[in-house]
Amino acid sequence: MAGSLHHVVVFVTDIERSLHLFRDLLGFDLVWGIGRVGGRKMSALVGIPDLEAEMAYLQNNPSSVAVELLHVVGPPMTHDPVRSTQPGRVGLSLVVDNLDEIHRRLTEEGWPPFTPCMDIISPEGKSVRVFCFRTEDGLTIELIEDSTDAERNNR
C-alpha cells in the first residue's frame, strides 16, 4: 500500500524557464538544484539509457508536496509538442495568493491563461477563483485562490 505523495516529477525542455515559472511566478522555493548528473544508477532509476540530466527540486513549504523539474540533456529525446488545444498527460493544481497578479505576469511572460480569472464553486462547496494555463511541455496548471482570501486582499 502506498503512503503519502512525496513529490511530482515534471519533465521539462528548458530548466531555466521552468525554474522561472515555478520559483519566480508561482512562489516555490528552490530546495536544491543539480547541474548535469548521470551515470548507471540514474539511468536505471529513470529508465533512460545513458541519461544525462539537470534537476531542480522546489517546494512552497516543508509539509507540502514538492515539484522536481527534470531536464533530459542526453540522449536526445523525441519531443512531441503538445498542440495548444490539447491537454498534456499530466496536470497540477496549485493554491495561490493574488491570482490576478499571477494571471497578469503569466500573460506578459508568454504563458497565456485560457480564460480570465473565473469564480466557481469547488466540489467541496467552497467559493474559489481559478484559471488554467499550459506550459510549452504540455503541463496544464490550474491555479486556485479561495474567494474569501481574494476579498480580503482587495480591501
Q: Report pLDDT digits (tens) over 23-58.
A: 999 999 999 888 888 878 777 777 778 888 899 999
SS3 label, residue 22:
helix
Establish if 81 belongs to a structural domain.
Answer: no
For range 128-152, the mean pLDDT: 82
Tell me how far the alpha carbon of residue 10 is from its chain's centroid.
Answer: 7
Torsion angles phi and psi, residue 26, rounded to 5: -100, -5
130 forms beta bridges with 118, 144
Q: Which of 20, 41, 74 is the last residue of a domain?
A: 74
How confident is residue 139, by pLDDT bands cut at 50, 70 and 90? confident
Range of the domain at 107: 91-153
Which CATH number covers residue 148?
A: 3.10.180.10
Alpha helices in the chain (DSSP H): 15-19, 40-46, 99-108, 147-153
Residues 51 and 95 in one domain: no
Q: Return d(Cα 28, Cα 108) in angstroms, integer.
A: 19
Question: Best-predicted range by mean pLDDT among 95-109, 114-128, 129-143?
Answer: 95-109
The pLDDT score that the predictor gives to residue 14 is: 93
The pLDDT score that the predictor gives to residue 87 is: 58
pTM: 0.78
The pLDDT score that the predictor gives to residue 79 is: 60
The domain tally of the chain equals 2
How do residues 72-116 score in pLDDT, each as one tens digit?
A: 888 776 666 555 555 566 788 888 989 999 999 999 999 999 899
The pLDDT score that the predictor gives to residue 29 is: 94
Residue corresponding to grid cell 486582499:
153
The beta-strand segments (E) located in the chain are: 7-11, 29-38, 52-59, 66-74, 91-95, 118-121, 127-134, 140-146
Establish if 137 belongs to a structural domain.
Answer: yes
pLDDT surpasses 60 at 149 = no
The pLDDT score that the predictor gives to residue 155 is: 41
**Number of Cβ atoms within 10 Å of the Cβ of 137:** 19
